[in-house]
A and B are shown apart, each in its own frame.
Chain A
């Protein structure tokens, strides 16, 4: 097994961990962190795939873009979470049910 495939393995591991955090954790902050993990695992995969097909470095450039988007997303997401917390005094998504039905 080459180290490139180890990277893919690590990416899959990180993705699974992020996904399980997103599904299981009740607090929205943790859900955001899980999403960060998901994004990071996808960046890792992009880099890994670039290494496997290494004729042009587009995978790495994609990775940079994703990192930038992840930063923005984290900033906006955190801001929303704080606003929601202020309004509902809670950061648990199941309790925020104003739009439901």
Chain B
């Protein structure tokens, strides 16, 4: 894609992007080095930094939205004339995403003040949250695949640290590892994509890649990037880590595993949409649709409220990915933004419930699983504020009219219809799955709301439940407001509002989204949702005990059997190979050598030394016999001397 872009002036950089990007990093460093004695200070400093960062981001967005893209380029290092750049690319979607990320992150920081008030490792927590925000903002603004990949990995690292925040729980440690590994698996694919891009285009800069001259590597590059997305956005088949990641603190789930990090994959697809060749796009659509379906079905089978939300996130992400595959990145982007707000809101509301119930349990020494919705009920009277927030955000998720989710979902449905009507008939299958998902979403959402807030209380009668502190309610309030329709469009039945108009102009108008080809869609989808709500209401007391759904179609088991076990087996094989065969061969060689040495030694001692010894022996024997003459005494010696002289005399005389 060659972008007609202006050079980002130093002024804009310093007054907008850099502070927004670096303040979270500074916050992270400050939190890390502040001494334990002043540990309490991080809970104030960190949100403050984030507030300023968010202000800068929103300011940049306000100035930048709708104008030409800006590029900032700095050579990082160069090898053989090819440059590796630090490249920032500011266009509409990145500035918008930047403000979404920093605002949600700020809200989560504020929320965490209350939620993590009693945690001993607050410094580590806020530090990692800051690092995460920095990395996430880095993904958003970078205009270069390599830089993006670096932030991409850094996001994975901070996510690992945050999921494993309560590392003493073995499940948390395991979940953190699993999340990182699944991400890493995808990232290995991403690296292949990077290699293909480097080999084909000789640059990583979005602006400099000329997609037509790829030397045939466009498909590999696309598949590689897609692999990265699969891991990060928990798409089929690499979604197993997301439900497990709910072991982390709930604000983390809200920020990372709902609003931002998992959305980074979708964001990447939108941002580098131009790199995907048509066959890759179809793959993307199929993967997205299947993830959306699996997620929605699995969400119905769950009892743990955070897991319901996790599977729901997965399903929504699937929808977004599918929309990208259906050549509607702008629709996917819209849903990404609305989803960020209402899903973060839902998680934070769930966090309020969990937090207050935990504290109540702590006082009454009661213990049951507070996240299991079967144990809850009737909380609307006890927690009215949380109830309203949950209801608003849930309605947005379910896609009820007058909520933001309704509009963005409609954008996706319309894109699906448009895509399906312009191709072979099997495309209707994928478009249909989008409708199935949008039918299932209200069902699990409202079942959950019903179980938590309606009916009678099940196990919570005796607990002293109080509404969460204001510091936790404030973010909830903001997010609930942002879940209403005017957050994206002032007309509650037309998604083509102020946000959409601004993000869609970076795509050529050929996708034809500016006019509405399906005017009946709004009514149809209202009817469709009403039907789903009715079904949800009538089945509110039916308990779903499907093991298949609960285990999300046993994908974990499949992965366990097909990946983990063989790898373990291989590991043990190689160890044995090393010990038994390589070292074994060596030892055999060494022993053979030793035996040979002994044989040679024996030969040496008995054959060669024997010869030498024989000579010495005979000499000694002669010496011994001769010595005997001298041994007996002086007189005998004289006698023998005399005897010899006599013999000698006789000898001479004769």
Contacts and interface: CB of A to CB of B under 8 A. Distances in A.
Question: Most chain-B Cβ atoms within 10 A of its Cβ — which of A19, A23, A93, A100?
Answer: A23
A94 interface: yes
Contacts of A100: 631
Contacts of A93: 633-635
A37 interface: no
A19 B632 CA distance: 18
A22 B634 CA distance: 10
Interface in A1-52: 19, 22-24, 31
B642 A24 contact: no
A19 B642 CA distance: 9
Contacts of A19: 642
In the A-B complex, list the 10 residue pairs whose CB atoms are closest, starting with the nearest: A94-B633, A93-B634, A23-B639, A23-B635, A23-B638, A93-B633, A22-B638, A93-B635, A19-B642, A22-B635
A94 B642 CA distance: 19
A37 B121 CA distance: 120
A100 to B, nearest CB: 8
Contacts of B638: 22-23
Contacts of A23: 635-636, 638-639, 642
Nearest to A97: B633
Nearest to A93: B634
A19 B643 CA distance: 12
A57 B642 CA distance: 31
Interface in B613-654: 631-636, 638-639, 642
A19 B635 CA distance: 10
Contacts of B635: 22-24, 31, 93-94
A66 B634 CA distance: 24
Interface residues of A, number: 8
**Chain B at the A interface: SS class:** helix
Contacts of A24: 635
Nearest to B633: A94
Nearest to B635: A23
Contacts of B634: 93-94
5 contacts: A22-B635, A23-B636, A23-B638, A31-B635, A94-B632
Contacts of B631: 100
Given A23-B635, A23-B639, 12 more contacts: A19-B642, A22-B635, A22-B638, A23-B636, A23-B642, A24-B635, A93-B633, A93-B635, A94-B633, A94-B634, A94-B635, A100-B631
A22 B641 CA distance: 13
Contacts of B642: 19, 23
Interface string A79-101: 00000000000000110000010
A53 B636 CA distance: 37
Contacts of B639: 23
Contacts of B632: 94
B632 to A, nearest CB: 8
B541 to A, nearest CB: 118
A22 to B, nearest CB: 6
Contacts of A22: 635, 638
A93 B638 CA distance: 13
Interface string B437-471: 00000000000000000000000000000000000
A70 to B, nearest CB: 18
Contacts of B636: 23
A85 to B, nearest CB: 16
Nearest to A26: B635
A24 B639 CA distance: 9
A22 B642 CA distance: 11
Nearest to B638: A23
Contacts of B633: 93-94
A17 B632 CA distance: 22
A44 B638 CA distance: 23
A23 B638 CA distance: 7
Nearest to A22: B638
B646 to A, nearest CB: 11
Nearest to B634: A93
Nearest to A95: B633
A93 B635 CA distance: 8
Question: Most chain-A Cβ atoms within 10 A of its Cβ — which of B631, B635, B642?
Answer: B635
Nearest to B632: A94
A100 B630 CA distance: 10
B645 to A, nearest CB: 11
A24 B633 CA distance: 11
Nearest to A25: B635
Contacts of A31: 635
A74 B639 CA distance: 22
Nearest to B630: A100
A94 B634 CA distance: 7
A100 B631 CA distance: 8
A23 B642 CA distance: 10
Question: Most chain-A Cβ atoms within 10 A of its Cβ — which of B631, B632, B633, B642?
Answer: B633
Nearest to B636: A23
Nearest to A100: B631
Nearest to A94: B633
Interface string B80-121: 000000000000000000000000000000000000000000
B644 to A, nearest CB: 14
A19 B646 CA distance: 13
A100 B632 CA distance: 10
A22 B637 CA distance: 11
Nearest to B640: A23
A95 to B, nearest CB: 9
A98 B636 CA distance: 18
A94 B635 CA distance: 9
A93 B636 CA distance: 11
A24 B634 CA distance: 11
A78 B635 CA distance: 18
